Every structure is written in structure tokens, then in C-alpha cells.
Structure 1
Amino acid sequence: MLSGKRIADVGYKIFSGSMMLLTVYGGFLCVMRAQRYMQKRKQLELAAQNESTASDTIKE
């Protein structure tokens, strides 16, 4: 028969493991969002450069 202490220890380990998994998953989502943000910002900068180059060519 399982003692109360053993049940509590197993419950604690399961809970701790699930919290670690959630933390890792949250970190992964944060990194992916930051990566998308950086890519989007780079694309906008390139588009702005291309637009300014095109408008400079039209002015000449």
C-alpha cells in the first residue's frame, strides 16, 4: 500500500516536471516571436531602402 508521503512525492515530481515543460515551451515561444519580429523589422528596413532608392532614381 502506498503511503501518504510517497503519493505526495510522486505528485510533487509530476507537478514540477509539468512546470519545467511549460517553462521550456514558454521560452521556445518567446524566442520564436522575437525571431519573427527581427525578420519582419529587417524586411521593413529593406523595403524602405528600396523605396528610397526608387524615389531617388525617379527624381533624377
Structure 2
Amino acid sequence: MVSAKRLADAGYKAFSGSMMLLTVYGAYLCSARVYRYFQRQRALRQLEQSPPGAGIAED
């Protein structure tokens, strides 16, 4: 039979491992959102600086 200490150690390791994975996943989501924000800001800044009608094809 497994002792209570071994069971507690296994539970702690499983819990701390899952918290570590959640932290890494949260950091990934946060960095992806920040990256998209800066990409959007760059695109908007380029759109402001382009001459009017530069991106519009006329018939």
C-alpha cells in the first residue's frame, strides 16, 4: 500500500506541474496578444502615412 507521504508528494508534483504548464500557456497567450497589438499598430501607422488612394485600384 502507498504511504500517505508518497501520495501527498505525487499529488504535489502533479499539481505544481500543471500550474507550471498553465503559467507557460498563459505567457504564450499574453505574448501572442501583445505581438498582434504591435502588428496592428504598425499597420495602422503605415496606413496613416500612405498617400490617399494609394491602396485603392481605380477602374
Provide the TM-score with structure 2 as the length reference: 0.85
Cα-to-partner distance string for 1:7-55 (whole Å, 9 max, x where unaligned): 00000000000000000000000110000000000000000001xx338
Alignment of 1:5-24 (within 5 A): 5-24=5-24
Unmatched 5+ stretches in structure 2: 54-59
* TM-score normalised per structure 1: 0.84
4+ residue runs of structure 1 moved beyond 4 angstroms?
A: none
CA RMSD of aligned residues (A): 1.2
Could you tell me which residue of structure 2 aligns to residue 54 of structure 1? Answer: 52
Paired residues in the alignment total: 53
